[in-house]
A and B are shown apart, each in its own frame.
Chain A
Amino acid sequence: MKILALLHTQDDGALPKAALEVVTAAAGLAAQAGGTFAVAVLGAGATAAADAVAACGASAFYAVEGDAVAQPRYATDTAAAAALMQAAGAEVVLAPGTSRFARCLPGAAYRTGAQVDTHVAAVSVEAGAVQAQRWFYRQRILGAFSRAARPWVLLVDSGVYAPWSGAAGAAQAQPVAVAFGAEDSRTAAQGLQAPAADAQTIRPDAPILLVAGAGWTKKQKDGQYHIGEAGALIQGFLQKAQASLGSSKSLVDLKSDGQETLNFMSHMNQVGQTGSTPRHPKGLSTCCHGEEPHAVGWRFINERRAINLDANCGWAQGKADVVYVGDAFEIMAKVNALLG
């Protein structure tokens, strides 16, 4: 079986962590299947990036680089990825489920006559056939499945495999020519922007996720709103614990509805049904009573604790390891003080 680890570089020309994880996955799958794997890289500095994983055991290396693929863009990325897939002639293509590849690889699969699946949480060989696992219904049902059709493109979620590490070398990556058309450059990337927020609050590699619920913006026991204080406590915790911030839908919806809320929150922070499902070792939920943050948003949080005024909150019971019954304002102030 021929397997391809299809990767892309990031702005600085290096491979993102998710790409290195896919190298591990491809090497493992090739070993299970008794096959070989190749590595293909697209983006700025692709050849040098291939050199960085030269010792990974791949049988061949391919690269597409140049101005056309220096920035993420659907049309050019799709054309480049399709060319790399065709050059490698692999039956199974593993790729990182980054925003760049999630955007373009379904199109590349279509152009190469491949089938594509995303959000892959595991890939293995079962009874001689490649089998993948992913979640359906927003992390509620886990399915294991296979496809007979080849090529088969699988976008692997970040955090599933350990990143490959090893010595750099000379990969001798074969440059792959791509025939870009004039229509491929109708879109121009203008660069990255931080969301309209006071500070960077989303940190994918943070050791802990703080989930804030709408309770922070409700009247407190003195009958008054304390939104400013809530903001200071949350931001203080994020800074001291180097935590990432998640939010319930109800909290970020307040902003859309024009109500006063935490100004550093946006829909980007939302976890759950229409938000993200981040992976962090620990998660602390505060003032949050909905199912979505606890069932869907927390699916990939290993250790979970919650601060809740209601000891019988049905959504925290059975989903959190520990529920602290108390006033989050009071407790988080003391937590921040102890964190220094």
Chain B
Amino acid sequence: MNGFHIVVCGSLVPDPLQTLEPVTTPQGPGLKNETMLPSVLDPWSAHALYEADHLAKQVAGSKVYLVSLGPKAKLQQLMMTVAQKVPFELVAIDGSASGFTDAHLVAAALAEAITAIPGLDKSRLLVFGGCASASRDAGVTMQLVCERLGIRDFFSGVDELKVAPDGSFSVLERVEGGQYLASTCQGAPAVLAWATGNLPEPRNNPQVGMANMRGVMPALMKAKPAAVGVGALSYAKTEIPAQKRATRVVKDVGADEIAREIVAWIKG
């Protein structure tokens, strides 16, 4: 085989340590100070990107693309860190990365961008992404991309991908009860929505960053705008429910007494 064309779909989400407050905008629900919130690469997509790099290194002739939909200025900021992790060619789409956007519109924009990648060979195509985003958390986008690309094999919550020399592969997908569904597939094309995989986050590599950035800036310059919004969704409300609990702090009490209280609570 001549290697895979691995297309990773991944965008930005607010840094998980930020406090998020919903607001109403003319375009629908949004976040307070959304443009000012620091962003990170969506965590599950990040795992997909690291797994794509790992696979590309294993299978000679493979190439990794990162298709990313977000506001162009924020994508540029994001790439300053992401581009130092692994080598990829960026395909940027300029549009909203809000968690309130309609996944159907997002999938359409992603599929269109993937289809337009010059020289992409569908017989060697593996599309990676996260099993859900940390913003919309819909868990449907990659399936919709799969259908739009006319691909018949899809895997969700993937933690492991092993490729045989003939291009066939085996997959472990997360299912209920802490178990995996093991499957084999005859080979590309396929779409894999990753869970965490098994790889650590790569260290920043300035050389990789330098090489990536040569392609990142032109990709951002020619990013096509995508009309991605709430679409057919009609929001009645978005809110942060009152969650604060009156925490009782138990201190200066012996372990025996604490243990008794915990056991009584468990059995109660």
B186 at the interface (CB under 8 A from A): yes
Q: Which of B2-10, B59-67, B118-126, B177-185 contacts A (4 or more CB under 8 A)?
A: B177-185
A183 at the interface (CB under 8 A from B): yes
**In contact, B180 and A325 (Cβ under 8 angstroms):** no
**In contact, A188 and B183 (Cβ under 8 angstroms):** yes
CB nearest to A292 among chain B residues: B16
Q: Which of B71-79, B215-223, B229-237 contacts A (4 or more CB under 8 A)?
A: B229-237
Chain B at the A interface: mostly helix, strand, loop or mixed?
A: mixed
Interface residues on A, range: 35 or more
**Complex Cα–Cα for A268 and B177 (A):** 9
Give residues of chain A (90-144) contacting chain B, Cβ–Cβ below 8 Å.
98-100, 102-104, 106-107, 109-111, 115-119, 126, 131, 135-138, 140-144
| B30 CB to nearest A CB, Å | 11
CB nearest to A186 among chain B residues: B186
**In contact, B185 and A186 (Cβ under 8 angstroms):** yes
Give residues of chain A (180-204) contacting chain B, Cβ–Cβ below 8 Å.
181, 183-184, 186-195, 200-204
B99 at the interface (CB under 8 A from A): yes
**Complex Cα–Cα for A136 and B236 (A):** 14
**In contact, A74 and B155 (Cβ under 8 angstroms):** yes
B240 at the interface (CB under 8 A from A): yes
Number of A-B contacts defined by CB within 8 Å: 268
Interface residues on B, range: 35 or more
B54 at the interface (CB under 8 A from A): no
Which residues of chain B come closer than 8 Å to A207, judged between CB atoms?
A: 266
A320 at the interface (CB under 8 A from B): yes
**In contact, A319 and B181 (Cβ under 8 angstroms):** no
Give residues of chain A (258-306) contacting chain B, Cβ–Cβ below 8 Å.
258, 267-270, 273-275, 282, 284, 291-292, 303-305
**In contact, B262 and A102 (Cβ under 8 angstroms):** no
**In contact, A110 and B259 (Cβ under 8 angstroms):** no
A75 at the interface (CB under 8 A from B): yes
Which residues of chain A come closer than 8 Å to B245, judged between CB atoms?
A: 304, 318-321
**In contact, B259 and A75 (Cβ under 8 angstroms):** no
Q: Which of A43-51, A212-220, A330-338 contacts B (4 or more CB under 8 A)?
A: A330-338
**In contact, B182 and A190 (Cβ under 8 angstroms):** yes
| B179 CB to nearest A CB, Å | 5
B96 at the interface (CB under 8 A from A): no
Which residues of chain B come closer than 8 Å to A118, judged between CB atoms?
A: 138-140
| A41 CB to nearest B CB, Å | 18
- B137 is contacted by which of A103, A137, A191 (Cβ under 8 Å)? A137
Q: What does the 1/0 interface line of B152-163 toward A look like (CB < 8 Å)?
A: 111111010000
**Complex Cα–Cα for A138 and B135 (A):** 7
**In contact, B235 and A256 (Cβ under 8 angstroms):** no
Give residues of chain A (128-176) contacting chain B, Cβ–Cβ below 8 Å.
131, 135-138, 140-149
Give residues of chain B (1-51) contacting chain A, Cβ–Cβ below 8 Å.
13-14, 16-17, 20, 22, 29, 43-44, 47
**In contact, B20 and A273 (Cβ under 8 angstroms):** no
**Complex Cα–Cα for A146 and B262 (A):** 43
A222 at the interface (CB under 8 A from B): no
B204 at the interface (CB under 8 A from A): no
Q: Can you pick out 6 interface pairs between chain A and chain B where the beta carbons lie within 8 Å of each other?
A: A99-B181, A126-B236, A183-B152, A187-B183, A318-B245, A335-B263
